[in-house]
């Protein structure tokens, strides 16, 4: 008898009890706006920033309305504006080129390797085209960060990291988000902590963070922050920086603080699930798993494999057969962008040069969410289904 999977690929875990209690307390006192504090009360948003700075080792942190907002703010704080060009990944999600477009700049797309990281040779060839790289650690795959930083430093290119899928991850012992000038995180429901919507920005750069705080809509209340540069850093910046409101509120911050304390445990749980899937899909003919080097301390909130150089209709057959058995797979090779999945050539507001090597890889990327509501047995069953259906389509060919 063939067994089908019946779990939901979009169902996350509930907010932990400590988050529910903290949220109730905020709603009961009613001071949801981060600058609405009574007496010497410290706002939940300010405490969240202080705790996330200490967790990542960053000097400064700012809580904002979304991951996309964190990226546009980082770009603006680095002086990127109308007509500028920004290097970024060809393999990423729409909010990344969207953040570049939001500040009036244009992306220069850099290719992807079979290990699903940015192609450092392609990057090296394009470094003279922009002053900033918005590096997306897409789906949690982290490139050789020492090499990348050496290339960018030598070319005078500022790095901003999109860590939407690498909160809690590291390369060679250094947290993702700590390599570049800014690290940007999302706390949206599908990321590593869940406040519905939300974002975090970290940096060691005092001027850059003072600009980011003013940009986020701090009025002249920046002294209410704790993980912020000293007031003197704001002396000129407070007059020169527009207020583009995108603050986080105390309710979301209250929900997030207990989740951040659990991040390492959750990361281990994700990786246990990844290991079961990877073991179940090892040695399947014509199915490749991206290589994960020992320096890469990833957090596997999703799972990818490649069906490289397959006919498109065969890939589609695999997706359909898996879907019929309850396994929801996303594909980066489809002709049309669907759901959360789109490709650099789907973003028609941004001109792009063809990237034939990346096109070949994108056409083979199959992607799956890995919510923590899946048990290890669920993951074993999912692997078994994918394995069987890939082999069935391959053998029929
Ligand atoms: C989700 C996501 C973002 C931004 O997140 P939002 O909070 O939804 O704006 C940025 N980059 C990547 C790769 C993402 O998946």
H helix or E strand, kind and range, residue 383: helix 376-396
With respect to CATH, is domain 263-396 assigned 3.40.50.300?
no
C-beta neighbour count of 247 within 10 angstroms: 20
Q: What is the pLDDT of residues 57-97, one digit of tens each?
A: 999 999 999 999 999 999 999 999 999 999 999 999 999 99
Residue nearest atom 4 in ligand 1 by C-alpha distance: 67
Give the distance from CA 160 to its chain's centroid. Answer: 12
pLDDT for 1: 64
Give the distance from CA 169 to its chain's centroid. Answer: 11
What CATH architecture is 17-261?
3-Layer(aba) Sandwich (3.40)
Q: What is the pLDDT of residues 116-167, one digit of tens each?
A: 999 999 999 999 999 999 999 999 999 999 999 999 999 999 999 999 999 9
Mutate to test the pocket of ligand 1, among 63, 65, 68, 177 (most ligand atoms within 8 A of CB): 68
Q: Are 135 and 180 in contact (CB under 8 A)?
A: yes
19: tokens are 């988050």
Residue nearest atom 5 in ligand 1 by C-alpha distance: 67
Q: What is the pLDDT of residues 369-393, one digit of tens each?
A: 999 999 999 999 999 999 999 999 9
113 CA to centre of ligand 1 in angstroms: 21
Q: What is the pLDDT of residues 175-232, one digit of tens each?
A: 999 999 999 999 999 999 999 999 999 999 999 999 999 999 999 999 999 999 999 9
pLDDT for 2: 84
Give the distance from CA 16 to its chain's centroid. Answer: 22
Alpha-carbon torsion 141, 146, 152, 155, what sign?
Answer: negative
Q: Are 260 and 230 in contact (CB under 8 A)?
A: no
pLDDT for 374: 98
Domain ranges in the chain? 17-261, 263-396
Mutate to test the pocket of ligand 1, among 93, 194, 197 (most ligand atoms within 8 A of CB): 93
pLDDT for 336: 87
Q: What is the pLDDT of residues 18-46, one digit of tens each?
A: 999 999 999 999 999 999 999 999 999 99
Atom of ligand 1 nearest to the CA of 70: 9
96 CA to centre of ligand 1 in angstroms: 7
Alpha-carbon torsion 64, 68, 71, 77, what sign?
Answer: negative
351: tokens are 């001109």
Confidence of residue 397 (pLDDT cuts 50, 70, 90): low
298: tokens are 């990833």
Pocket of ligand 1 from Cβ distances under 6 Å:
66-68, 92-93, 95-96, 136, 138, 162, 164-165, 186, 188, 199
Atom of ligand 1 nearest to the CA of 67: 7
DSSP 8-state class, residue 130:
-
Mutate to test the pocket of ligand 1, among 88, 95, 98 (most ligand atoms within 8 A of CB): 95
Residue nearest atom 2 in ligand 1 by C-alpha distance: 164
Confidence of residue 332 (pLDDT cuts 50, 70, 90): very high
Q: What is the pLDDT of residues 230-277, one digit of tens each?
A: 999 999 999 999 999 999 999 999 999 999 999 999 999 999 999 999
Residue nearest atom 6 in ligand 1 by C-alpha distance: 67
Smallest CA-to-CA distance from 60 within 71, 46, 40, 73 is with 46
């Amino acid at each position: 008898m063939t067994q089908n999977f019946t779990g939901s690929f979009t169902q996350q875990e509930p907010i932990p009890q400590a988050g529910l209690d903290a949220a109730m307390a905020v709603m009961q006192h009613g001071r949801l706006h981060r600058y609405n504090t009574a007496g010497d009360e410290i706002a939940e948003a300010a405490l969240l920033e202080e705790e996330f700075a200490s967790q990542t080792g960053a000097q400064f942190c700012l809580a904002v309305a979304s991951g996309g907002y964190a990226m546009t703010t980082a770009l603006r704080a680095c002086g990127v504006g109308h007509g500028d060009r920004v290097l970024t990944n060809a393999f990423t999600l729409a909010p990344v080129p969207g953040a570049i477009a939001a500040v009036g700049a244009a992306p220069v797309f850099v290719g992807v390797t079979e290990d699903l990281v940015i192609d450092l040779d392609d990057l090296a060839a394009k470094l003279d085209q922009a002053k900033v790289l918005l590096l997306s650690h897409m789906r949690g795959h982290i490139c050789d960060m020492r090499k990348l930083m050496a290339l960018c430093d030598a070319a005078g290119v500022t790095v901003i990291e999109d860590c939407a899928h690498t909160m809690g991850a590291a390369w060679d012992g250094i947290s993702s988000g700590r390599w570049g000038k800014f690290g940007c995180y999302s706390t949206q429901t599908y990321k590593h902590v869940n406040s519905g919507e939300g974002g975090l920005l970290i940096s060691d750069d005092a001027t850059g963070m003072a600009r980011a705080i003013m940009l986020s809509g701090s009025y002249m209340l920046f002294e209410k922050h704790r993980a912020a540069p000293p007031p003197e850093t704001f002396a000129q910046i407070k007059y020169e920086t527009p207020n583009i409101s995108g603050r986080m509120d105390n309710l979301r911050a209250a929900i997030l603080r207990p989740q951040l304390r659990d991040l390492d445990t959750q990361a281990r749980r994700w990786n246990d699930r990844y290991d079961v899937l990877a073991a179940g899909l090892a040695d399947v003919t014509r199915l490749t798993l991206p290589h994960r080097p020992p320096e890469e301390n990833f957090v596997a909130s999703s799972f990818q494999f490649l069906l490289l150089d397959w006919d498109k209709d065969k890939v589609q057959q695999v997706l359909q057969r898996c879907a019929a058995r309850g396994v929801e797979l996303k594909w980066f090779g489809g002709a049309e962008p669907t759901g959360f999945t789109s490709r650099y050539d789907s973003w028609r507001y941004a001109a792009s040069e063809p990237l034939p090597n990346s096109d070949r890889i994108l056409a083979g990327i199959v992607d799956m969410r890995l919510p923590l509501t899946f048990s290890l047995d669920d993951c074993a069953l999912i692997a078994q289904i994918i394995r069987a259906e890939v082999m069935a389509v391959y053998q029929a060919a």
